[in-house]
Chain A
Amino acid sequence: MAKSKKEIIQELQTAMCDLEDEVVTSLIKEGIQCGMTTNEIVIEGLNPGLTIIGEGFEKNERFMSDLMIAGQIMNDALELLLPKTSMAEAEHDTGPRKGNVMVIGTVEGDLHNVGKRIVSATFGGAGIRAIDIGENKSAADFVAAVKKYKANIVGASAIIGPVTPYCKVIHNALVDAGLRDDVLFITGGWGMTEEWCNEVGADTYGETAIEGLAKVQKLLVGELPRWKDKVKKKK
Chain B
Amino acid sequence: MLSFSVPQKEFKIGKITVGGTPGKNPPVLSGSIFFTGHLVVKDPEKGIFDQDKVKRQLEIDKVASEQTGLPRIIDIQGETAEALIRYTEFVAVNCDDPISIDSALPKARMQTLEHFKGSELIPRIIYNSIGYTYSEEELECIKTCGVKTAVVMPFSSKTVRPKGRIKLLNENLLAAAGRAGLENILVDTGVLDIPSISWSSKALWEIKDKTGLPCGCSPLHMVTHWEKMKARGSPCFEAAAATLLAHPLISGADFLFYGPMRNSTWVYSACATVAAMAAYGETLEGTRPISAHPLYKIF
Give me the interface of A with B, judged by CB distance under 8 Å.
63-65, 68-69, 71-72, 109-111, 113-114, 117-118, 135, 160-162
Contacts and interface: CB of A to CB of B under 8 A. Distances in A.
B158 interface: yes
13 contacts: A63-B192, A63-B193, A64-B192, A65-B192, A65-B195, A68-B192, A69-B160, A72-B158, A110-B104, A111-B104, A113-B157, A114-B157, A161-B37
Given A65-B160, A68-B160, A161-B36, 19 more contacts: A63-B195, A63-B196, A64-B196, A65-B193, A65-B199, A69-B160, A71-B157, A72-B157, A72-B158, A72-B160, A109-B104, A110-B104, A111-B105, A114-B157, A160-B36, A160-B104, A161-B37, A162-B36, A162-B79
Which applies to chain A's interface (DSSP): helix, strand, loop or mixed?
helix
B38 to A, nearest CB: 11
A162 B158 CA distance: 26
A174 B160 CA distance: 35
B157 A64 contact: no
Interface of B: 36-37, 44, 79, 104-106, 133, 156-158, 160-161, 192-193, 195-196, 199
Nearest to A111: B133
Contact of A69 (B37, B44, B161): B161
Contacts of A113: 156-157
A153 to B, nearest CB: 21
A71 B160 CA distance: 11
Q: Which 3 interchain pairs have the tightest Cβ spacing?
A: A64-B193, A65-B196, A114-B157
A200 B106 CA distance: 26
A71 B104 CA distance: 23
Contacts of B196: 63-65
Nearest to B131: A111
B249 to A, nearest CB: 21
Contacts of A69: 160-161
Nearest to A191: B225
Contacts of B36: 160-162
B244 to A, nearest CB: 14
A157 B144 CA distance: 34
B80 to A, nearest CB: 9
A118 B195 CA distance: 19
A131 B44 CA distance: 33
B160 A162 contact: no
B231 to A, nearest CB: 14
Nearest to B198: A65
Contacts of A64: 192-193, 196
Contact of B105 (A63, A71, A109): A109
Contacts of A161: 36-37
A193 B192 CA distance: 22
Contacts of B192: 63-65, 68
